[in-house]
Structure 1
């Protein structure tokens, strides 16, 4: 009897389960309380829309058109998806330059592509200020998504000029708060005219101000920010940086409780995901080389949703992902116009020139930059850096593309008045870029410093004694054939980045300007080449500086011209690891 009764109860429960399976679910039932939401993020796209390297003139595996294909694939399988960007978006390629400077009244192709793709929001990046405020304001007007910057206070009190701090979107019934910020180091790199009316405030303090408010208003709170991690991603040790205010993503995670995730950029690194103090940190690769994808599982409790799981990964925009035809067609005219511009012939290169030794000896390509700056800056001395030692001009037609390879940053030209003592101080600071000689057999002669912060001078002659300690290396500094007196005043041409304090050249920052141009240094180099009667570029220098002692000079030139050893074969890449709480 007990067995029969037990069978009867089991059969009754089975029938009841079938009946319930076919019935509509009541609101708030257990099966109704879980939702998955996806956030896709890009960062530091720098005007890369087409999968094309404009400096080399060839296809590459990157760009917003490839991102578009992946975004559409995700949206097809997951309707609860947000798409955000972490800044440095509208500067960096010749295409971006042309539509900021040459054709500012026409629709910006990068903005048009982002509008078509349906971005929800982006954080302002430091390079958004490179072209000045009017181009930035035009971008704001054209964008169908907000440019967020909670830590940028504005004196304009005008929605066309102010940057909103955050956006709240409802996705699948979940209220999502998107807070945006930008590194407050912008004044270190751009002149005051490019940021007048704006004040850049501390990142951690701003996060502490807004996160509690957003936590009350939203179920999911994320930060999109143009700032680096500021720590070693494995050890968590603080990194040594030139600007203490620049990179604070890790600090925000530790000191501003209430965030669920931070999507960040600026450092051109990538991080598949790391949890710090319960906050998921994710960084996509620059130039739209990868997309950060984070998945949040939320459970509803009463009227509120709570994050119960979160994970992230990076999706490379490799050959397996084709460029989206819609985005390509939308921006085709801009792309073709850019290629036509880059192919403009300026003259002829007499013999191939490689910049491999451009930072270790006086070099003809650097000499060209210096000569243009001296000429258009009406200066006695010029300071300039070589941005890439990979620059190479082949023998044959000299085009704008070649000049772009040599000078790809957006800098204006300033001429300042400084003393001989300040110039020597700047050259000593620059000479820190060398390790002290003799160098170990397996060591590098160059210190671990960005090459674009190593300035060379023209208009004076000097030697860099790398056997001496940093700060005591500039010897035999002469101007017009005589030792340069510390009190001697000089008219020195330099770019706007250096004048603003870029590279922490504090001795040059905001020096008295005696002359300035409204053109990019690259455009001045182009104009200088066009003005020359001899249209053939013949590599030559005046050898006004050198490294000593002689054996150190020979060793460092040999080091610079020796190809690196081939890399050993790499194992097949495993899928990017996910981070989860």
Structure 2
């Protein structure tokens, strides 16, 4: 595969020389404008998905995104930048891993091949790049033909005798512990130097699974050190790639105002006003937070962000403008009253085409033929084999929200929350019991569940590649009732940022099997679980949790590690922890097969009252 013409070397050579340079740029520079395209949280969605939107008064559905459309659109904006004489960068805000059967089958290798083909200039490491430990990440970086950034990731304790150490990879930019300095790159464009660095979540060890021989430095402290080092070398144009989420991006911009541009990820935020499509307007795109321009491009390769940023002769941002564009295919359907969507009429097709042509936040984009061929020949056959195995019927869509009343898609589940996560917790309970490893309760964190279960046929592929893509092993352990309650309350507090303390995200919110609880956010800490009851199989009755009694608990290994507010789970009885080796997605597949038809549980496991309600 032909490398992108900028390759890795120009970045890395300047990066390596940077420590030896002492000259600064004393004379004013000419104004400079950069053109930057970006994606983030693509999660191996090579084939894209479906988008429901309003084309004027007509509600339609169309195919959206996917890597071949992203490549096609990136080539268009790259060509535009070339015609305007503008330097062009194509950046990825992290989380290429997970999300589909392509990752289940090929780990990071398929992503490396396709992102190379797109011609990326750099990518920051996302939290899901660590889900399987460091080795798949190292193998991905080893195949990448572009720099991969984790400027606050410290490898000074890394075991260099392991099979795939990160420190030996020439295109991996990380923290230099000897210098006490985060790694960065410098690129010369139009005779001027631009600095680039990338931040990983400082609490990556808490929310994901990197090897234990690495460490992560603070986001703000690392950014301050890098910007100071760049300024000392006369570099006054600084771009930060980040995978820390929009709120933290804004916090870094406040703390380090000399960062000019932040290209973000992690929060899956589609910045810009999409209300013309009947979609959300979360926050503005290319928003100026102080003197820093911040962008992010949603999720799942559905959109491409593109903007230009202009600097004056002193390196100050004078203009930053652009937009996210949703990339849709040319096949539209509409419900004409039958309850099912069918292809639109010729008249409506013309209406939709005209609507799209008149709006710059959505575009008709044909897939790049070469990339589609690469996917179809090298990767798709193995995926289709799994996709075709039907395991259950779903009469009605089962919705998923992380926190009751809060959802990216707006699912109306205000009190009891997800319909899917309790089924997954129940699948753990039933399968552990069938393995002669019966437990009293099970716990499923909502972030481990990645989608709703759509009406129709449920396949192995939808479970292993979309619903539960992380392949987390199930574990069991023994715990006092008081610690079990503390873990549940702690996880919810973490998920909802209770008491003004920023948590690690709403994915911490717990759903349970054979246990139900009521959470009241208006109560003092430690007293917010007002009801906790366990379902007794023998009697079919609910019994109150006994704080002094020891219970046997099942969960994923991730949850049992005490991350995301589940710290009290580490108070388990010594010697009680058992790794079953049974994966969460395999358990749900077996459960779905046994059920034949999937419906919500006959009882709700969560009653949730937010603070102030």
Query: What TM-score, normalized by structure 1, do the two folds share?
Result: 0.70
State how far apart, in whole Å, the 1-side matches of 2:290 and 2:556 are: 42
Instruction: Indicate conservation of the 8 Å contact 1:211/1:257, yes or no.
Output: no
Among residues 513, 536, 542, which one is paired with 1:457 in the alignment? Answer: 513
Long gaps (5+) in structure 2: 1-28, 52-60, 161-166, 175-182, 272-284, 329-363, 400-412, 497-504
State how far apart, in whole Å, the 1-side matches of 2:436 and 2:286 are: 47
Among residues 183, 188, 200, which one is paired with 2:201 in the alignment? Answer: 183
State how far apart, in whole Å, the 2-side matches of 1:467 and 1:82 are: 45
**For residues 246-395 of structure 1, what are the structure 2 equivalents within 5 Å?**
247=248, 249-271=249-271, 272-298=285-311, 306-307=315-316, 309-319=318-328, 320-333=364-377, 334-346=379-391, 348-349=392-393, 352=395, 354-356=397-399, 359=417, 366-375=425-434, 378-381=437-440, 382-384=442-444, 387=449, 390-392=452-454, 394=456
Offset of residue 342 of structure 1? 1.7
1:574 is aligned to none
- CA 1:96–1:391 in structure 2 vs 1: closer, same or farther (change >3 Å)? same
Instruction: Indicate conservation of the 8 Å contact 2:422/2:444, yes or no.
Output: no
State how far apart, in whole Å, the 2-side matches of 1:546 and 1:70 are: 45
How many pairs are equivalent?
465
Instruction: Indicate conservation of the 8 Å contact 1:377/1:414, yes or no.
Output: no
Offset of residue 521 of structure 1? 0.9
2:528 is aligned to 471
State how far apart, in whole Å, the 1-side matches of 2:529 and 2:144 are: 52
Matched, 1:516 2:579: yes
Q: Which has the larger radius of gyration?
A: 1
- CA 1:114–1:432 in structure 2 vs 1: closer, same or farther (change >3 Å)? closer
Matched, 1:167 2:185: yes
State how far apart, in whole Å, the 1-side matches of 2:70 and 2:374 are: 15
1:130 is aligned to 131
State how far apart, in whole Å, the 1-side matches of 2:145 and 2:431 are: 41
1:77 is aligned to 80
1:207 is aligned to 223
- CA 1:198–1:467 in structure 2 vs 1: closer, same or farther (change >3 Å)? closer
Offset of residue 53 of structure 1? 6.0
State how far apart, in whole Å, the 2-side matches of 1:428 and 1:44 are: 29
**For residues 87-126 of structure 1, what are the structure 2 equivalents within 5 Å?**
87-100=94-107, 108-126=109-127
2:147 is aligned to 146
Instruction: Indicate conservation of the 8 Å contact 1:115/1:143, yes or no.
Output: yes
SS at match of 1:421: helix
Instruction: Indicate conservation of the 8 Å contact 1:87/1:125, yes or no.
Output: yes
Offset of residue 182 of structure 1? 0.7
State how far apart, in whole Å, the 1-side matches of 2:221 and 2:41 are: 24
- CA 1:507–1:134 in structure 2 vs 1: closer, same or farther (change >3 Å)? same
Offset of residue 180 of structure 1? 0.7
State how far apart, in whole Å, the 1-side matches of 2:486 and 2:455 are: 33
Among residues 79, 93, 99, which one is paired with 1:86 in the alignment? Answer: 93
Instruction: Indicate conservation of the 8 Å contact 2:426/2:513, yes or no.
Output: no
State how far apart, in whole Å, the 2-side matches of 1:485 and 1:113 are: 53
State how far apart, in whole Å, the 2-side matches of 1:275 and 1:377 are: 58
Q: Which deviates more from structure 2 when the two are superposed, residues 470-479 or residues 85-94?
A: 470-479
- Listed one character per residue, the Cα deviations across residues 129-165 of structure 1 (whole Å, up to 9, x for unaligned) are 0122211111011111121111111123732396432
Query: What TM-score, normalized by structure 2, do the two folds share?
Result: 0.66
State how far apart, in whole Å, the 1-side matches of 2:494 and 2:239 are: 39
SS at match of 1:91: coil
Among residues 497, 501, 505, which one is paired with 2:566 in the alignment? Answer: 505
- CA 1:405–1:389 in structure 2 vs 1: closer, same or farther (change >3 Å)? closer
- Listed one character per residue, the Cα deviations across residues 72-100 of structure 1 (whole Å, up to 9, x for unaligned) are 11222323101111111122222122212
**For residues 383-422 of structure 1, what are the structure 2 equivalents within 5 Å?**
383-384=443-444, 387=449, 390-392=452-454, 394=456, 399-401=460-462, 406-422=467-483
Matched, 1:525 2:588: yes
State how far apart, in whole Å, the 2-side matches of 1:216 and 1:451 are: 41
